[in-house]
Amino acid sequence: MTGTREILVVAHAQRADTVAAARRVIVALAAAGAHPVLPSDDELLRAAIGEVGPIATLGVDVTVDDIELAIVLGGDGTILRAAELVRAGTAPILGINMGHVGFLAEIEADVIDDAMRRVIARDYDVEERMTLTVAVVDTTGEVIYETWALNEATVEKASRERMMEVVIEIDSRPLSSFGCDGVVISTPTGSTAYNFSAGGPVIWPTVEAIAVVPLSAHALFAKPLVVGPEATVAIDVLARTDGTGILWCDGRRSHDLPPGARVVARRSPVPVRLARLHPAPFTDRLVRKFQLPVTGWRGPSTSSGDSVGGSGDSAGDSPA
């Protein structure tokens, strides 16, 4: 460690509002005596921010182990990029939403100044999210590719006009075989991402589990599955598949899958750490981010016995 407070700032350099927000963050950090740090490949952002004083470079001036916190300005894609950057360290990630849904983000851009005060005071909680370790095995049994995923690992067909044939295996036992467009293997964090769009279940972050969701399967039994967090999920791409497949992890890292390849996913021992300024029920986050209709909600009633420790006087309030 360097003995100073090194704060990584990750932002999308091609949006003017995001660049302006990143500048505010960097100025606030420097004014408080912390050292702002930018990724080594962010020369475009550095140029867009302009002269704001010294800014260190990750991997050149400081190591990932030196980073105290990563502040991310952008949507979920930018947060996933930041998770890659700090993967080898222990820094938590604080997401400031500059995108659309921004499900992984903790706050919106209009409260940046308050967020910076709390960052300087170290006034935040850290929440750990499980991740997946993912390996591709060839027909000889050799591991030819390894990576990880915070949201999901997806086995997909490479050709739009062709179907891929797979066998799903859970804990070394075959479960089902069918033709499909692919299979999504998701963490609870990723359950509101591709898994959600594919018809998989939303999994509360406090529930440690892995979801397995076939994509457009040509089969009678190809429903979404939820397995335990210590389960090993394997997808065999059958050799008779007409064409190749592709593995995507978090939509950022990919590897081609020839017929006969095997993708194995299991829980990783290394979580992603998220900084939380406003711990709140996950239900409220779902309602707010997806703008779910809750009109008519009366709240828990002590007379009906469905309230634990509540006063029963919250009728008419909205969780959003």
| pLDDT recorded at residue 43 | 85
| Average pLDDT of the residues in 102-113 | 84
Which CATH number applies to 6-123? Answer: 3.40.50.10330
Rounded-to-integer distance, Cα 170 and Cα 233, Å: 5
The architecture in CATH of the region 132-267 reads Sandwich (2.60)
Spatial separation of the C-alpha atoms in residues 177 and 235, rounded to whole Å: 10
Instruction: Look at residues 119, 16, 70 and name the one whose alpha carbon lies nearest to residue 274.
Output: 70
Choose among 218, 252, 52: nearest CA to 134: 252
Tell me what percent of the residues of the chain surpass a pLDDT of 90: 72
Contact between 80 and 150 under an 8 Å Cβ cutoff? The reply is yes
pLDDT in tens, 128-171: 999 999 999 999 999 999 999 999 999 999 887 788 999 999 99
Domain boundaries, the chain: 6-123, 132-267
DSSP string, 256-313: EE-TT-EEEEEE-S--EEEEESS---HHHHHHHHHT---TT-----GGGT--SS--S-
pLDDT for res 242: 66
- Using only C-alpha atoms, the chain has a radius of gyration, in whole angstroms, of 22
pLDDT over 50 at 32, yes or no = yes
pLDDT at 318 over 80: no
Active site residue ranges = 76
Q: What pTM was estimated for this model as a whole?
A: 0.89
How does residue 183 score in pLDDT terms, banded at 50, 70 and 90?
Answer: very high
What mean pLDDT comes out for the span 183-197? 96
CB 296 within 8 Å of CB 317? no
